[in-house]
């Protein structure tokens, strides 16, 4: 299992950061690789909310269906985000820090069997690591603007 973690302190109150981050209409703004998001269920927030997502991954356009599996207001959110046969888990934690908010983001996935671990070590892990770092920096930039 590969796990990547990134953290950022955003100069805004916890509720503002949480509300912005968990609003599906903002996903394409801070996920650098997301091109389009549409609700796949009537429910758009909380456990069981699902979204049809178009992403640009390694230069190719792909589709995925993301499911929110954990949602605790002003505390955390988790998504299952399968892509190319790999089940990924994206987790956010939100912590109030003296008028600001620390956002901890993690991405966990198990590479494809057979050659997946080698490909992961050679370039996929570093690719996702850069995208994840950009994600938290985009959040900071957008919310503090």
pTM: 0.90
What's the mean pLDDT in 74-88? 89
84 or 14, greater pLDDT: 14
CATH number 3.30.530.20 given to 2-144: yes
pLDDT at 110: 79
Q: What is the mean pLDDT of the chain?
A: 92
Query: Could you tell me how far CA 130 lies from the centroid of its own chain?
Result: 13
* φ/ψ (deg, to 5) at 92: -120, 140
Question: Residues for the chain: how many in total?
Answer: 145
What's the mean pLDDT in 87-106? 96
What is the per-residue pLDDT across 129-144, written as a single tens digit (0 to 9) for each? Answer: 898 999 999 999 999 9
pLDDT at 1: 82
* φ/ψ (deg, to 5) at 125: -60, -45
């Amino acid at each position: 299992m590969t796990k990547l973690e990134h953290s950022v302190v955003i100069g805004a109150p916890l509720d503002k950061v949480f509300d912005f981050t968990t609003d599906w209409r903002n996903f394409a703004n801070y996920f650098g690789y997301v091109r389009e998001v549409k609700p796949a269920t009537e429910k758009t927030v909380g456990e069981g909310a699902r979204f049809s997502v178009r992403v640009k991954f390694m230069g190719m356009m792909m589709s995925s269906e993301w499911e929110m599996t954990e949602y605790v207001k002003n505390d955390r959110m988790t998504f299952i985000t399968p892509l190319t046969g790999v089940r990924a888990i994206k987790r956010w934690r939100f912590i109030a820090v003296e008028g600001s908010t620390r956002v901890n983001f993690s991405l966990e996935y198990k590479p494809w069997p057979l050659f997946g671990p080698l490909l992961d070590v050679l370039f996929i892990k570093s690719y996702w690591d850069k995208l994840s770092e950009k994600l938290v920096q985009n959040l900071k930039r957008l919310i503090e603007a």
